[in-house]
């Protein structure tokens, strides 16, 4: 970087967004200068690289894409789907965006990943990239890269029910999953694909089961917040993935009592109660998870809160109260509790 007198005033660097470039292949780059010199006037660039015999994974294909503005000025969503035609499972699937002005100059660079961590061979998965500096390109290009993996089969986790509602300008999707595997599972991720009335894919998002570890046959609610839902949203589909874990959840945290009452704001509700620590030792980060059902057993509310005390000694009882800001009038609700050792 140089000032107006062509005096050097600073430097920084970055890497191309595509890791491996084949002959004639292009890749965007982006350099973030957090504290630019106040006297900055212009810059020059140099480039260096290393030859490699490593081949990029072939067969990851963008099968559809689109874009829509976000609610914040100069932010933009780019969405689409990737099909894995590599002949094997693929992970860490990265989508790289390059935006050009009318003269072909790059004016926007960003990247994101598929909502699913892994795609099996032949599987299609959604992605959505939120670009924070759209800069109004006249066109953009998408490229995709990933890594091979031998693990593509998620454990047997099923979605029991789900529903959707809106609040203010956001859309929420809530539901419930069950661990049908013979082992504990963790990091249970629920991926939402959104479609318009013509069944055209228009966006994706994801959330996680509110219970961190599910033992065999255990259920957990999930909650997905879509802050900027597409205006032409019509329906959605869900996928779920998770990981087998040998970690055991802390046993012996018991809901000793509970109740509820309406808040002063419409559709807000308080759920309160007490947790008794029968775990045989101290417990901290004690989280209470609420799942609300309609008359058909469909989940219409999912939320969580914590005990007022940060830690409960063995045998101690502690209070909790959670404010649920989308009550949705369930006919019944269930409470679960989880925590950890100090």
Tens-place pLDDT, residues 15-28: 999 999 999 999 99
**pLDDT beyond 70 at 152:** no
**pLDDT beyond 80 at 153:** no
* Residue among 65, 63, 78, 62 at smallest CA distance from 228: 78
CA distance 116 to 240: 8
Mean pLDDT of 136-158: 92
What is the pLDDT, as a whole number, of residue 130?
97
Q: What is the sign, positive or negative, of the torsion defined by CA atoms of 226, 230, 232, 234? A: negative
Mean pLDDT of 305-325: 98
Confidence bin at 150 (pLDDT 50/70/90): confident
pLDDT by residue (tens digit) across 131-143? 999 999 999 999 9
Give residues with Cβ within 8 angstroms of 268, minimum separation 6: 262, 323, 324, 325, 327
Mean pLDDT of 213-239: 97
Residue whose tokens read 């890594």: 147
Distance of CA 116 to the CA centre of its chain: 9
What is the pLDDT, as a whole number, of residue 162?
98
CA distance 67 to 201: 11
Please say whether the beta carbons of 144 and 78 come within 8 A. no
Residue whose tokens read 């029910």: 161
Q: What are the CA-CA distances from residue 306 to residues 57, 275, 309 (Å)? A: 45, 10, 8
What is the pLDDT, as a whole number, of residue 168?
86
* DSSP one-letter code for 150: S
**pLDDT beyond 80 at 295:** yes
Strand partners, 88: none
The 3-class SS string of 62-113 reads: EEEEEEEECCCCCCEEEEEEEEECCCCCEEEEEEEEEEECCCCCEEEEEEEE
* Statement: the pTM of the whole predicted model exceeds 0.85: yes
pLDDT by residue (tens digit) across 101-130? 999 999 999 999 999 999 999 999 999 999
Query: Percentage of the chain surpassing pLDDT 70?
Result: 100
Please say whether the beta carbons of 335 and 271 come within 8 A. yes
The Cα angle at residue 222 between residues 96 and 67, in degrees rounded to 5: 30
pLDDT by residue (tens digit) across 49-70? 999 999 999 999 999 999 999 9
**pLDDT beyond 70 at 242:** yes
Domains in the chain, please, with CATH?
60-148 (2.60.40.10), 157-244 (2.60.40.10), 253-340 (2.60.40.10)
Q: What are the CA-CA distances from residue 37 to residues 41, 43, 186 (Å)? A: 9, 12, 46
Q: Hey, how many other C-beta atoms are within 10 angstroms of the C-beta on 13?
A: 10
**pLDDT beyond 90 at 212:** yes
Buried b (16+ CB within 10 A) or exposed e, 197-231: eeeebbbbbbbbbbbbbbeeebbbbbbbebebbbe
pLDDT by residue (tens digit) across 251-261? 999 999 999 99
Mean pLDDT of 298-326: 98
Residue whose tokens read 């600073």: 10
Confidence bin at 155 (pLDDT 50/70/90): confident
């Amino acid at each position: 970087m140089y000032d107006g007198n062509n005096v050097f005033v600073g430097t920084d660097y970055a890497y191309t967004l595509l890791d491996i470039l084949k002959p004639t292949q292009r890749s965007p780059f982006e350099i973030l200068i957090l504290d630019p010199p106040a006297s900055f006037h212009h810059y020059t660039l140099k480039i260096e690289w290393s030859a490699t015999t490593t081949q990029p994974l072939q067969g990851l294909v963008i099968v559809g894409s689109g874009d829509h503005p976000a609610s914040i000025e100069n932010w933009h969503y780019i969405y689409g789907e990737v099909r894995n035609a590599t002949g094997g499972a693929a992970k860490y699937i990265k989508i790289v965006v390059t935006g050009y002005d009318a003269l072909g100059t790059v004016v926007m660079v960003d990247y994101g990943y598929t909502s699913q961590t892994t795609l099996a061979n032949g599987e299609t998965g959604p992605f959505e990239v939120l670009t924070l500096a759209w800069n109004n390109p006249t066109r953009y290009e998408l490229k995709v890269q990933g890594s091979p993996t031998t693990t593509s089969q998620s454990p047997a986790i099923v979605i029991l029910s789900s529903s959707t509602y809106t609040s203010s300008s956001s859309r929420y999707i809530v539901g419930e999953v069950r661990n049908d595997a013979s082992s504990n599972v963790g990091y249970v991720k629920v991926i939402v694909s959104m479609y318009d009335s013509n069944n055209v894919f228009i966006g994706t998002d994801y959330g996680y089961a509110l219970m961190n570890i599910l033992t065999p046959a255990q259920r957990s609610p999930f909650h997905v917040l879509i802050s900027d839902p597409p205006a032409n949203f019509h329906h959605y589909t869900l996928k779920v993935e998770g990981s087998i874990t040998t970690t055991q959840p802390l046993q012996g945290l018991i809901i000793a009592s509970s109740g509820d009452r309406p808040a002063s704001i419409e559709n807000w509700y308080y759920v309160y109660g007490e947790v008794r620590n029968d775990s045989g030792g101290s417990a901290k980060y004690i989280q209470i998870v609420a799942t609300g059902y309609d008359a058909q057993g469909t989940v219409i509310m999912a939320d969580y809160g914590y005990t007022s005390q940060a830690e409960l000694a063995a045998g101690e009882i502690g209070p909790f109260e959670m404010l649920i800001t989308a009550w949705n009038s369930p006919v019944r609700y269930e409470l679960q509790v989880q925590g950890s050792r100090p």
